[in-house]
Amino acid sequence: MHIGLVCIYCIWTVSTLYMVNLSFALLTSVNIINQLFNRKEDKELKIVISNSSSDPIYQQIFNQIQEAIFQGELKEGEALPSIRNLAKDLQISVITTKRAYDDLEHERYIETVPGKGSFIAVQNKELMREKHLRILEDQLTEGIHTAKLLRLNLDELQNMLTLLYEED
């Protein structure tokens, strides 16, 4: 439908149904049009379960929700799908989903309100940075261990790290 026709229809509908003046009808019509054409798609939590992963399914869910929080895709106070709905969507056991949510709550990534659902918890930015640094340190330690097994010297390791860093 042409936008001009939508405007006319909205003005006519609002002014006829509510019997108000034309300026109010025009304002209401503009709001209706904005809602129709500027509607945002509902954000959907995208979790992909990999059968080939060595991580158990609950850990894959935990990791993906944690990553979405770190990346800012999930905001503080935002509701997560219910345990049952997520289990149904992923075609997995409710027990598996509950384990992931319990772990997320234990690590203070989410808060669960009985009868209301689970929500992204308020995150302490400095604490979150420290968690990231701890994970990075563990990964670097593992990489250094592997480099020593391969008998790479520090210069070779630094060159490799520089190349990888600049690649992204």
Q: What confidence score (pLDDT) does residue 168 get?
A: 67
Comparing CA positions, the residue from 13, 73, 1 lying closest to residue 37 is 1
Beta bridge partners of 79: 119
The low-confidence residues of the chain, meaning pLDDT below 70, are 1-43, 168
Separation of alpha carbons 73 and 133, rounded Å:
20
Per residue in 89-109, pLDDT (tens digit) is: 999 999 999 999 999 999 989
Q: What confidence score (pLDDT) does residue 120 get?
A: 94
Separation of alpha carbons 116 and 109, rounded Å:
17
Domains assigned to the chain: 3-37 (no CATH), 57-120 (1.10.10.10), 128-167 (no CATH)
